[in-house]
């Protein structure tokens, strides 16, 4: 059965979160510019939005979240192993990646940097927790505990102040570890064969993330024009949004292999 609820809920989250971000940037609620995110190539401009390319590219996450919600409400997603309410939750989380990341790039503030990392933790924690509860054959309560544990673990990792090779900070490393764990667990589920899914969606999500990471890394080591609006980090945002959409399509395509 088709439902408009996922799109209505996600749309409300998008309007509210983007509206709060606009107000926060305009009123300087996020604090002063401390250079947070300045290592991602783009030079700070003199306007209200310090890094325009790296900020506006985050609209990709908002659009991806709305696309996820639209598909979650369709009849095609109605028979999925993933409940529609959980698909809606994922859509909202993907939307929040947009203003969360833009908060840092628009202001280069300390609080903006924390919001950026938190939005990343919410998505990676969801992917890892949802994969684990299906592998372990656990229910919604276990998912909630696992999800909270993943996000809290990332926050604790983020307290480590020493530099980390390649990914810079421990919070980024924790984000990556959760994504790798999700890929491994999803592979276990696929090989177990208890459900069927369109595996090409998973391949597309993984490929998008890998290409995004290559660009993310290259844009900080040589491939960088600070004053251009064509930024590698902006491409990272767009490709990660594409990966999030395909991840949802993988989830939505999952069906039991038998009525039991």
Question: Can you tell me the distance from the alpha carbon of 94 to that of 122, in angstroms, rounded to the nearest whole number?
Answer: 9
Burial of 27 (0-12, 13-18, 19+ CB in 10 A): exposed
Instruction: Pick the closest to residue 217 from 167, 179, 150 (CA basis).
Output: 167
Q: Does 237 carry a binding-site annotation?
A: yes
Question: Can you tell me the distance from the alpha carbon of 247 to that of 209, in angstroms, rounded to the nearest whole number?
Answer: 11
**Strand pairing class (195-196; 255-256):** antiparallel
Q: Does 114 carry a binding-site annotation?
A: no
The SS3 assignment for 80 reads coil
Sign of CA dihedral 237, 239, 243, 246: positive
Q: Does 221 carry a binding-site annotation?
A: no
Instruction: Pick the closest to residue 251 from 6, 64, 83 (CA basis).
Output: 83
Instruction: Pick the closest to residue 158 from 127, 216, 211, 119 (CA basis).
Output: 119
C-alpha distances out from residue 30 to 103, 117, 127, 188, Å = 8, 15, 28, 42
Q: What are phi and psi of 253, to 5 degrees?
A: -85, -5
Question: Can you tell me the distance from the alpha carbon of 94 to that of 139, in angstroms, rounded to the nearest whole number?
Answer: 23
Sign of CA dihedral 106, 111, 115, 121: positive
Residue list, annotated binding site = 105, 233, 237
- Binding-site residues for Zn(2+) sit at 105, 233, 237
């Amino acid at each position: 059965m088709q439902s408009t609820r996922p799109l209505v809920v996600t749309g409300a989250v998008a309007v509210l979160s983007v509206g709060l971000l606009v107000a926060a940037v305009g009123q300087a609620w996020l604090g002063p510019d401390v250079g947070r995110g300045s290592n991602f190539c783009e030079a700070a401009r003199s306007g209200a939005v310090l890094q325009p390319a790296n900020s506006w590219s985050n609209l990709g996450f908002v659009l991806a979240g709305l696309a996820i919600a639209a598909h979650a409400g369709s009849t095609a997603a109605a028979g999925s192993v993933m409940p529609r309410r959980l698909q809606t939750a994922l859509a909202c989380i993907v939307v929040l990646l947009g203003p969360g990341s833009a908060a840092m790039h628009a202001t280069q503030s300390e609080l903006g940097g924390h919001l950026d990392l938190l939005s990343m933790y919410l998505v990676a924690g969801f992917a890892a927790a949802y994969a684990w509860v299906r592998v372990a054959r656990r229910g919604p309560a276990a998912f909630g505990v696992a999800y909270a544990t993943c996000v809290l673990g990332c926050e604790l990792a983020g307290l480590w102040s020493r530099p980390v090779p390649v990914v810079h900070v421990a919070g980024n490393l924790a984000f990556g570890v959760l994504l790798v764990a999700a890929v491994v667990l999803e592979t276990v589920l696929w090989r177990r064969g208890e459900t069927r899914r369109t595996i090409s969606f998973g391949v597309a999500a993984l490929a998008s993330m890998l290409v995004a990471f290559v660009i993310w890394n290259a844009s900080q080591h040589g491939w960088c024009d600070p004053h251009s609006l064509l930024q590698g980090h902006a491409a990272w945002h767009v490709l990660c949004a594409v990966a999030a959409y395909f991840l949802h399509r993988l989830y939505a395509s999952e069906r039991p292999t038998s009525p039991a």
